[in-house]
Amino acid sequence: MGDRLRSYLSLAKPRILLLVGLTGLAAMVLEGSLLTDPMRFAGVLLGILLAGAAANALNQYWDRDIDGIMARTRSKRPIPAGRISPRAALIFSLVCGLAALWLLQTAGGMPAALLGLATMAFYVLIYTVWLKRRTRLNIVIGGVAGAAPPLIAWVAGAGELGLVPLLMFLVILLWTPPHFWALALCLKEEYARAGIPMLPVVAGEQKTCTQITAYVVLLLPSTVWLGISADLSWLYFIGATLLGLNLVRRVHALRRHRDRQAARALFNYSIFYLAALFFLMLPPQW
């Protein structure tokens, strides 16, 4: 792959998009009505991925100052690394965003396109521009954008929302704080240096661990509620229970040791947890 292409791909944050795509895919499969129309199905999925790419690229455009301060992002992100100019990143976002809206509108209808637009606007304007640098609740509220893809996917097929997509939304929303605060615990000093009020920076490690625990306690019954509402298979319930027990085990280890190793382990596991949970929602014949 050419260097330039690779830089643009990293602007889209492809690994995050894979998981975003999986959450959208699961919603489309559970909703079901686009399964008989492969073109529309693919159009909606690609639309969600392109909306995510546009949002991620705009996030990096706006955050290029702080991404240049933090060691985690300084050399890896294409704008601070000097591999892509801010202007080119802006054009990339615009092209991806417009393509996303066109695809969502043609393959999923106007409500899906509007939800896609609202999600991008929420992530970029509410989270990145407004809240990220101002409040410790930044990611709790920002999580709304990350949790929205199942809503877009569902509306594209059904034309309206229902309890099942709202519970998928809730599961991702409750998962986001433990996902991110585990990493923020590892990178506390870096976030402090960049002047970002992430919870471990402003409230300390103990309070962050308590908050992580609270979100996990709410998350686990929500995954069961989702399974019941969507009438999922016993495989899902067994999987969700085992995944949940493992999550609790890692949170417990973090509370006991409160060190970087336990926090990093929880962060890595959080990604596996959500991927496996949504994978289990796909029916076995898939």
Phi, psi dihedrals of residue 82, rounded to the nearest 5°: 80, 15
Near ligand HEM in 124-163, by CB under 6 A: 139, 142-143, 146
Identify the DSSP state of 233: -
Residue 123 CB, nearest approach to ligand FPP (Å) = 5
Residue 59 CB, nearest approach to ligand FPP (Å) = 5
Interaction site with ligand FPP (CB under 6 A): 13, 16, 20, 48, 51-52, 55-56, 59, 63, 119-120, 123, 128, 145-146, 149
In whole angstroms, how large is the CA radius of gyration of the chain?
Answer: 19
- Residues binding ligand HEM: what is the number (CB under 6 A)? 18
**153 three-class SS:** helix
Q: Which is nearer to ligand FPP, 29 or 248 (CB)?
A: 29
Q: Which is nearer to ligand HEM, 16 or 118 (CB)?
A: 16
Of 44, 172, 199, 251, the one binding ligand HEM (CB under 6 A) is: 172
Binding of residue 248 to ligand HEM (CB under 6 A): no
Out of ligand FPP, ligand HEM, none, what residue 63 binds, judged by CB under 5 to 8 A for its kind, is ligand FPP
Counting other chains too, the contacts that 187-190 makes at CB distance below 8 Å and 24 or more residues apart are 187/70, 187/72, 190/69, 190/70, 190/71, 190/72
Out of ligand FPP, ligand HEM, none, what residue 212 binds, judged by CB under 5 to 8 A for its kind, is none
Nearest to 100 by CA among 156, 28, 59: 156
Out of ligand HEM, ligand FPP, none, what residue 80 binds, judged by CB under 5 to 8 A for its kind, is none
Q: How many residues does the chain have?
A: 286
Binding of residue 119 to ligand HEM (CB under 6 A): no
Q: How far apart are CA 92 and CA 66, in angstroms?
A: 20
**Applying CB under 6 A, which part among 13-21, 25-33, 150-158, 224-232 lies near ligand HEM?**
13-21
Residue 119 CB, nearest approach to ligand FPP (Å) = 4
The residues, ordered by sequence, that sit 6+ positions from 89 with a Cβ below 8 Å of its Cβ are 11, 57, 58, 60, 61, 78, 79
Of 9, 81, 99, 271, the one binding ligand HEM (CB under 6 A) is: 271
Near ligand HEM in 202-221, by CB under 6 A: none
The residues, ordered by sequence, that sit 6+ positions from 114 with a Cβ below 8 Å of its Cβ are none
CB-CB neighbours of 169 under 10 Å = 23
Binding of residue 193 to ligand HEM (CB under 6 A): no
Binding of residue 64 to ligand HEM (CB under 6 A): no
Distance of CA 259 to the CA centre of its chain: 25
